[in-house]
Each structure stands twice: as C-alpha cells, then as structure tokens.
Amino acid sequence: MELNVSLYRYNPEKDEFPYMKKYTITKPEKDIMVLDLLNLLKEEDTSISYRRSCREGVCGSDGMNINGKNGLACITPLSDVLRGNKLELRPLPGLPVIRDLIVDMTQFYNQYEKIKPFLQSDSEPPVQERLQSPQDRDKLDGLYECILCACCSTSCPSFWWNPDKFVGPAALLQAYRFLADSRDTKKQERLEELGDPFSVYRCHGIMNCVNVCPKGLNPNKAIGEIKSMLLTGTKEEKIKVVGLE
C-alpha cells in the first residue's frame, strides 16, 4: 500500500510562505514509528529538517503535530495515527517556525525558567542527603517525569494567545513539582509569583494538555492544585493581617 504523506515545508532562505509538500512512500510491512518514516523520507529528500535524539520518548526533541494531534514522532506508531493511508505532519502549533518541523522554543523555555525550576531551601544542606519519606517522594510522581517536549503547551489556546504571560501547562507542572517537594522551603514566594491574572488563571481547564501528553502526565491536575494553594495561601494571609490589627 502507498502512504500519502503531507509534510509542512518551510525554508526561510527560499520560501516566502510555508506549504504542504506531498510525498508517496510504500507502507513498510512492519508497523514503524512516525520518526522512522521521517527518516526514510529524509534519505530521499535530504532537505527535510526535524529534531530528534533519543528515539525512545525520553528526550522530548521530536514533538510535532501528527494528523492534527501533538505527539512525539518516535513513540507514535503509524497504526495509531494513519487515517486511511494519509498522514499529515506539521510543526507544533503556536510557536514561530524556524524551518520545516522545527519551531523556535524560546518562549516555551522562558516560561520554564520563570517558575524557578530548581530546589530552593533556607536550611543548610546536611552532610548526607536530606531525608524525605517515601510518601512525600510519591507526591513528585507524575510531575518530575516531564521531558519538556512542549506538546502540551503548544496544544493550549491560552498559551497560543499569551505565550509571554501565561506560564503554560508544562512549566506549571514543574512549578507544582517544586511546590509539592517536601524539601523546598520557598512555597510562599513561588505562589506569590504565580498569583497574577495571567500566569495560572488563564488556564480554563479544557484539558488539551492532558489529552496530548506523551508521558501520560496531568498538567491540568497540577494547575488545579496550584489554584487551590493560591486560594488557601491568600486566606492565611488575610487571617494573619486581621490578627495583627
């Protein structure tokens, strides 16, 4: 069977506008991954550009829009996504395109850096490790595994609209990863930096992020947790203020 692949092409040196280019390729007998298919196409047309590294779904390089849904090319089997014999590959939506399937991820990374994605503690570290109970450590499961592929944030209309002000699901997941860490002592400061109308509150819970996450993570839930921490945090503040008066 022939596969009809429609590939988003754009070379800033040659093309005034991006266009969809059609490729026909014999469908391999084995069920291969979308990345394998791209590699086959690139052997024929070396000008096709895309990012890839680990080819096993842990490095987060090859996020792209596959037949309308964001995913990682290297762990998406053709059998999961083919519509008839058609496959359409586009770059992740909402970010500037550099070339073909490669987007400029600066805005995405800026949001990640903004949430201070590192452990902060007021106490001097002990000689050995800081202790953490398995129960406290369990709270980080489903959070720390994020691979920064940007599938979630680039499927989020709020992020498309305000990529500079709305932190986006990926970075919010990481914000909560540190809020949830029993070893981090900067909870209040972290929350304060998220309390404006945009950073968190532009999430309206449409769950596109959950729908596309190739690692099965749930940024929506993490955002919900942050929202309730913001709420209780504010209440405590008020009580404290009243108490002082």
Give the residues lining the site for other proteins (CB under 8 A).
11-14, 42-43, 46-47, 49-61, 75, 77, 98-100, 102, 105, 109, 113, 116-119, 125, 127-134, 136-137, 140-141, 144-145, 147-148, 178, 181, 183-184
8 A C-beta contact, residue 144 and residue 99: no
Strand order in the sheet with 69-72: 19-26, 2-9, 86-90, 63-66, 69-72
Comparison of 29 and 245: residue with beta carbon closer to other proteins: 29
The CA distance from 64 to 93, in Å, is: 8
Nearest-approach distance from CB 191 to other proteins, in angstroms: 18
Based on CB atoms, which residue is closest to other proteins, 131 or 241? 131
| Residue 78 C-alpha from the chain's centroid | 22
Q: Cβ of 95: how many Cβ atoms within 10 Å? A: 20
- Token code pair at residue 16: 């005034």
For residue 11, give the DSSP letter.
-
Q: What tokens appear for 71 in the block?
A: 């995913």
Q: Which is nearer to other proteins, 75 or 156 (CB)?
A: 75
Residue 210 CB neighbour total at 10 angstroms: 17
Nearest approach, Cβ of 162 to other proteins (angstroms)?
A: 22
Q: Under DSSP, is residue 64 helix (H, G, I), strand (E, B) or coil? A: strand
Q: How far is the CB of 238 from other proteins (least distance, A)?
A: 31
Nearer to other proteins, 56 or 237 (CB): 56
Cβ 187 to other proteins shortest distance, Å: 14
Nearer of residues 69 and 116 to other proteins, judged by Cβ: 116
Residue 43: CB minimum distance to other proteins, A: 4
Cβ atoms of 223 and 176 closer than 8 Å: yes
Shortest Å, Cβ 202 to other proteins: 24
Q: Which is nearer to other proteins, 56 or 164 (CB)?
A: 56
